[in-house]
A and B are shown apart, each in its own frame.
Chain A
Amino acid sequence: MAASHVQGKTMTISRRKFVAAGAALTGSMLLPRVAMAADTIKLGSILDTSGIFDAYGKPMNMAMRLAVDQINADGGLLGKQVEVVSYDTQSDMALYSQYAQQLTRQDKVDVVHGGILSASREAIRQTMHKTKTLYFYNVLYEGGVCDRNIFINGVTPAQQVEALVPYAMGKSGKKVYILAADYNYGHITAKWIQKFVADNGGETVGVDFFPLDVADFGSTIAKIQTVGPDLVIAPLVGGAHLSFFRQWAAAGMKDKIALASTTLGVGNEHKVLTAEEGNGIMVAYNYSQELDTPANNAFKKSWADANGGDQSMHEIAVSNYQGVLTWAEGVRKAGSLDRDAVIEALETGVSIDGPAGKITVDPKTHHAVLDVHLMEFQDQGMRVVETLPQRQPIDTQAVCDLQANPDDNKQYEIEI
């Protein structure tokens, strides 16, 4: 592609040679790191490693490569090495469907790990389903996806929001204001928050949605004050929305109204905000760098060794790492790369021990049973306040049973 538009203008080498060279060049550029030999296993990865979501995607990419390197160092899978075929979607949703086609039809990978925003997952999920390419979405999300071809190990609202809301309301009060990102994740998560606020005897006094490029929250902050909630819960997403937390602190609101988020810190935002801006914000995730366990310390060390001392691992990077390990465990158990065999193996309830603790595949929903930690930001870290062990994805379990309906293929949404 890159060379085609200059084909006609070359004078010194023959047209045929030029086209051949161009094709070879183009081919080699489009297929980074694809081994030509068939004795490798191809792992497809599709992530935003540049653009406004790169704070999420870059560490996810490093995590995936670390997991693959460790698998290969231990002798690979089924006696074969794992090769990575990766694409950078540049924080552009349109590129997801294009690269998904490429991974499934041209590269013919054995498994795909990736997708960050829920919009990107829905953009590629059907391509994976149609081409019968096993797909792992390793990101915290709004729950409800029911599809036998996909495995999801990120925390869902029943695992996260259900724990966060009563904790945050207990520390503040009953009146809750919600600020959410304006796409499927934000809308569905806002509904879950409203449900859990009501379940805990509280009241949702306002909900506002913001497109992903909104960066000025001045009038919103004034509006929140006119309503006067006890607690603000903010499922905001991406670099632009980070401004809210900064402007909230600049307006001096931090000590007046409590703040909780279902997304802040997922991309290590607590390290971008200063301690004064971040301290006291309440969150709940599967992972924290502050977890002082042997597994996490070993993981942090091998990450630093692999990436020159870097320590940028975060919630969804660790999810991605754990997703690759879960897939590898499924392949080992199946003794085959065949999609159906691997799915059946994973459905026996495969468990792995990752940096964030034990993760078990839930056979009914293909989601994960995992630990959730209630945390507060403190001095640019996430201090664990309480650990809730082995939570079930009961939101998705209530609507999805892939053992009874293996042909189900939709995302269920909560009705209020």
Chain B
Amino acid sequence: MDLSFVILVEIFYAVASLALISAGLAVVFGMMKVINLAHGEFMMMGGYATITAVHLGVNVFVAMLIIAPLIVGLIGLVVERLVIRHLYGRLVDTMLATWGLSLFFIGMATMIFGNTTTSITTPITGFAVGDYQINGYNFFIIFVSAVLLISMYVLLKTTRIGLIARGTMQRSDMAAALGYSPDRIYMATFFCGSALSGLAGAVLAPLVGLVPTSGGAYIAKAFITVIAGGPSLIVGLISSSSLFGVVNQIFTFGISPVFGDVALLISAVILLRLLPQGVTGKFFKGKM
């Protein structure tokens, strides 16, 4: 009984962390069609922003939930103004440009923070469930991830801003004809996407030691999750991260963490063979 609860928490945690690391990319790549290969580095910068703020004496939750997303969002804003806005609609070119950016960010982080592992302690202590100990921080990640997905849904589905953003992504010329500046909306959307990446990096920072090249560990999983999710932003994110999270944890518990990752990748290959448009290309069509 206790064990099944522990495993259940681990599965939820795996799903939540997949959704979290993919959310920023889902906005930037899923909505805006910018292949952001610097996604992992945005997360890495979120982590460093958190650690730096905590070392400066800021409360760790303020640092994670407010400062890191803001800083990374602002960096994203600068990147969008200087680089990305010239490349909208040029899928392959964005890939090259953002790959260059990722190298640049790794280099900058190495210069500023050094090429060594830095970290902070987890702010929430573990507790006992029967005979087992659970990392309390897992619940925090599940909570953040759930709040994030719900508020993204509410924002995009029910507010006027969300409607304008979605409309602009579909037909920017029509949005312009109705008096909205696509330029500004793209800018704001990229800001949000970057801030989400920064948030993910910040929230995961206390769990892992951070090096400037840490971003590389997330990028593949994030792209697989977003692509397998398909055209619907939030439903796609939830369905693919649930699928991969469950597969990953079953094999991790059953065999080993290495097989967990292998199983995740194999299931992604099979999924894309059967559903080339992603999960929401076939099911839940037309949902957000």
Contact = CB atoms under 8 A, between A and B. Distances in A.
Contacts of A277: 121
Contact of B208 (A215, A253, A272): A215
Interface string A182-204: 10000000000000000000000
B135 interface: yes
Contact of A52 (B138, B211, B260): B211
Given A222-B6, A223-B252, A246-B121, 18 more contacts: A209-B258, A211-B258, A216-B257, A219-B249, A219-B252, A220-B252, A222-B7, A226-B3, A228-B131, A239-B211, A246-B119, A246-B122, A249-B121, A249-B122, A250-B121, A250-B124, A252-B127, A252-B135
Interface in A247-288: 247, 249-253, 256, 272, 274, 276-277
A186 to B, nearest CB: 12
A272 B208 CA distance: 12
B133 A240 contact: no
B125 A250 contact: yes
Contacts of B41: none
A208 interface: yes
A225 B133 contact: yes
Given A218-B135, A219-B10, A225-B6, A239 B117 contact: yes
Interface in B200-257: 206-209, 211, 213, 217, 249, 252-253, 256-257
Contact of B13 (A209, A218, A223): A218
B208 A216 contact: yes
Interface residues of A, number: 41
A51 interface: yes
18 contacts: A50-B115, A182-B258, A210-B257, A211-B258, A214-B258, A215-B207, A219-B10, A222-B132, A226-B3, A239-B116, A240-B209, A242-B209, A246-B206, A250-B121, A250-B122, A252-B126, A252-B127, A252-B128
A58 B135 CA distance: 33
Interface of A: 50-52, 54-55, 58, 182, 208-211, 213-223, 225-226, 228, 239-240, 242-243, 246-247, 249-253, 256, 272, 274, 276-277
B207 A251 contact: no
A346 to B, nearest CB: 34
Given A213-B217, A251-B135, A276 B121 contact: yes
Q: Name the residue among A211, A215, A239 with the largest chain B CB count within 10 angstroms.
A: A239
B99 interface: no
A246 to B, nearest CB: 7
B256 A208 contact: yes
A61 to B, nearest CB: 13
A208 B133 CA distance: 20
B133 A55 contact: no
A276 B125 CA distance: 11
A325 to B, nearest CB: 27
B93 to A, nearest CB: 22
Interface in B125-183: 125-128, 131-138
Contacts of A223: 252-253
Contacts of A239: 116-117, 209, 211
Nearest to A253: B133
A217 B257 CA distance: 8
A119 B20 CA distance: 35
Q: Name the residue among A209, A218, A246, A253 with the largest chain B CB count within 10 angstroms.
A: A218
A218 B115 contact: no
A307 to B, nearest CB: 15
A256 B119 contact: no
